[in-house]
Amino acid sequence: MLKINADQFQNEVLNQKGLVFVDFYADWCGPCKMTSPIIEELANEVKEVKFVKVNVDENPDLASQYNIFSIPTFLMFKDGKVIHQFVGARGKDGFLSEIEKAKNL
């Protein structure tokens, strides 16, 4: 899964066609550490969705722009626009359910 910064966000997320799953996280965040391997697994399995990670400590302006107040926060973009947002750790089925919701928006 691609870890991106604010400079890459435009190209890797906003300019993409289709669905992009963005994981806003921090290295010190316990729930983020728990969900990371699940999201890596999904990134390998769900080929029609692009998965990227953004470290909020390294990209505070980006976190602020998208109103990220707690982590982990996940945003789903479709054709460069936020269509779905959810907060907090999930199991694999929970993430798949959120991705399915976004696909149907």
User: Cα 46 to chain center, whole Å?
Assistant: 14
Catalytically annotated residue among 29, 52, 76, 99: 29
Catalytically annotated residue among 4, 20, 22, 32: 32
Enter the DSSP assignment of 72: S
Helices and strands of the chain, counted as H and E runs: 4, 5
User: Is-catalytic flag, 2?
Assistant: no
> Of 43, 21, 38, 3, whose CA–CA distance to 99 is shortest?
21
User: Is-catalytic flag, 72?
Assistant: no
The residues assigned a catalytic role are: 29, 32
